[in-house]
Structure 1
Amino acid sequence: MPYLKRITIKWEKVDNKNCYPFNIPSINGLNSLEITKNVTFLVGENGSGKSTFLEAIAQNCGFSVKGGSRNSLLSDEVDDLSLASVLSLSWLPKVSNGFFLRAESFYNYASYIDEVEADIADPMERYAAYGGKSLHKQSHGESFLALLQNRFRGRGIYLLDEPEAALSPQRQLVLLRIIRQLERIGKAQFLIATHSPILMAYPDADILCFDQSPIKAVQYEETEHYQITRGFLNNRHKVLEELFSEE
């Protein structure tokens, strides 16, 4: 069962529901959200609020919104974090271990790790938790997997914001296997914001759609991501013909 079980917005603390990010429809219509599975996907179109919501959860878990664990000292000089201040997280039991991984700020996290590892006297011990070498000296996908395979361990909560941005389809399958191992053996919980129909195919996961208000759970085959991808792969010539017909 998941550790994080419910996320509640304390609307009495909000001065103006018509300003960002409270005016995002998926958030504006939300009072509380029940989490019932160890793996939960947040899906929706760009601007639907899924990443904003995940950021606010991350901050309430004690993670830097630029990525990292509770021990990371990355600066949080970002805008629009007012949502975090009015969220309430319900746990049973409370866990402190975990990680917030986001593709768009991964470069900053990798630079931060370089600074931390430089203080380790023995070169042979540097980057032990990251595959043995700087994340900057690996490709984007390699560094992502090195972090996932070496830094994600044991029971905890892991928040991933569009991890597919750095991963090929083959490596997205590797990520699914890592999630499976951590969920079953390490008893980990995952909340993942994604556009990837490969990732959201994870068995027995909840898929929460942010394209509607209120947010609701949908079946994999009901997602627009699945339907568009399937339609394109099954008949790409017709889709492209229709797409370019107005040129």
Structure 2
Amino acid sequence: MIYLNAFTFPDRDSEFDFFMSVKRTCYDSFYPFNILSRHGFERIDFEPVTILYGGNGSGKSTALNVIAEKAGVNRDSIYNKSNFYINYVNMCEMELEDDIPENSRIITSDDVFDYMLNIRNLNEGIDQKREKLFEEYLDAKYSDFQMSSMRDYEELRKVTTARSKTQSRFVRNELMDNVREYSNGESAFLYFTEKIEENGLYLLDEPENSLSPKRQMELMKFIEDSARFFGCQFIISTHSPFLLSMHGAKIYDLDANPVDVKRWTELENVRTYYEFFKRHEEEF
């Protein structure tokens, strides 16, 4: 499925015209200007799965965030915007094949890390509350409390409840269970499968972070199936050779000058892995 058909970024001439019009010299950075135009990255024509590949500083995350901002998709984590960010986004153009669904979103590494941290913090809070309830149970069960007015009703209820139940049952009734914790890789994979629904445009920024090679291959299969059978479109920034090998993916090499579409086996990162394992082939 294709919702977003094409996207264009400002070229060097357009950026120069903008700088001449603003005439502001009090800023050290004009980000995201001069990032994508540096390698002549001016247009993306999308497939159901489109991948932005490149090294650190190549602009793949910048491009992904700009597209997400222009398309108005949902996002959870905040991200850095310069004084000129909206100016840049307004200079971009996008061509739609179909309306972008409301459940569309961008998912970043920060989203995944926050999800794992929130589960951990929630469980820590539950554990602390459990200890407090143990103390409340003992205080209530063995207190010599006597009700003297209606204002004491809540305390009476607690004492009565404590005296009629065991300590473990009292705590279970008053407290939610711990949220099940998984490994970082399992949690990250579950986050993607929970957030990615049918019929949506999804922008994934380096989703391989926190995922083992096996989990990366499972995510690759999940993305392939979501694009093929469940009406999803994906735009992904990644270094992962597993995700880069995705069947039918169109790959833009942002390290090339000018930016060019390449096969995954032509990419420097993949070739580095290949040559390394080739040198050690006899050890396997």
Residues 85 and 113 of structure 1: CA distance in aligned 2, closer, same or farther (over 3 Å): farther
1:59 maps to what in 2?
Answer: 69
Gaps of at least 5 residues in structure 2 are 21-28, 122-175
2:80 maps to what in 1?
Answer: 78
Gaps of at least 5 residues in structure 1 are 64-68, 116-125, 127-131, 238-247
Deviations along 1:45-96, one digit per CA (max 9) or x if unpaired, are 1101111110111122224xxxxx36x5x5x362347143432221110213
Match status 1:188 vs 2:262: no
Residues 198 and 187 of structure 1: CA distance in aligned 2, closer, same or farther (over 3 Å): same
Contact 2:112/2:191 (8 A) holds in 1 = no
Counterpart of 1:164 in 2: which secondary structure?
Answer: coil
Deviations along 1:155-188, one digit per CA (max 9) or x if unpaired, are 1111111111110000001101111221122110
Match status 1:21 vs 2:32: yes
1:26 deviates by: 5.0
2:98 maps to what in 1?
Answer: 93
Q: Higher helix share goes to which structure?
A: 2
Deviations along 1:81-131, one digit per CA (max 9) or x if unpaired, are 71434322211102132221111453345667999xxxxxxxxxx9xxxxx
Contact 1:164/1:172 (8 A) holds in 2 = yes
2:206 maps to what in 1?
Answer: 162
Equivalent residues, number: 214
Counterpart of 2:275 in 1: which secondary structure?
Answer: helix
For 2:45, give the aligned amino acid.
E
Query: Runs (4+) of structure 1 moved beyond 6 Å?
Result: 111-115
1:121 maps to what in 2?
Answer: none
- In structure 1, distance between residues paired with 2:70 and 2:54: 22
Q: Work out which of the two has the higher radius of gyration on C-alpha atoms and give 1 or 2.
A: 2
Counterpart of 2:208 in 1: which secondary structure?
Answer: helix
1:24-39 alignment to 2 at 5 Å?
24=35, 26=37, 29-35=40-46, 37-39=47-49
- In structure 1, distance between residues paired with 2:256 and 2:207: 23
Residues 86 and 27 of structure 1: CA distance in aligned 2, closer, same or farther (over 3 Å): farther
- In structure 2, distance between residues paired with 1:27 and 1:113: 41
Residues 22 and 77 of structure 1: CA distance in aligned 2, closer, same or farther (over 3 Å): closer
Q: Percent identity over the alignment?
A: 31
Residues 151 and 106 of structure 1: CA distance in aligned 2, closer, same or farther (over 3 Å): closer
2:267 maps to what in 1?
Answer: 223
- In structure 1, distance between residues paired with 2:39 and 2:267: 22
1:103 maps to what in 2?
Answer: 109
Higher RCO structure (Cα 8 Å, ≥6 apart): 2
Contact 1:26/1:215 (8 A) holds in 2 = no
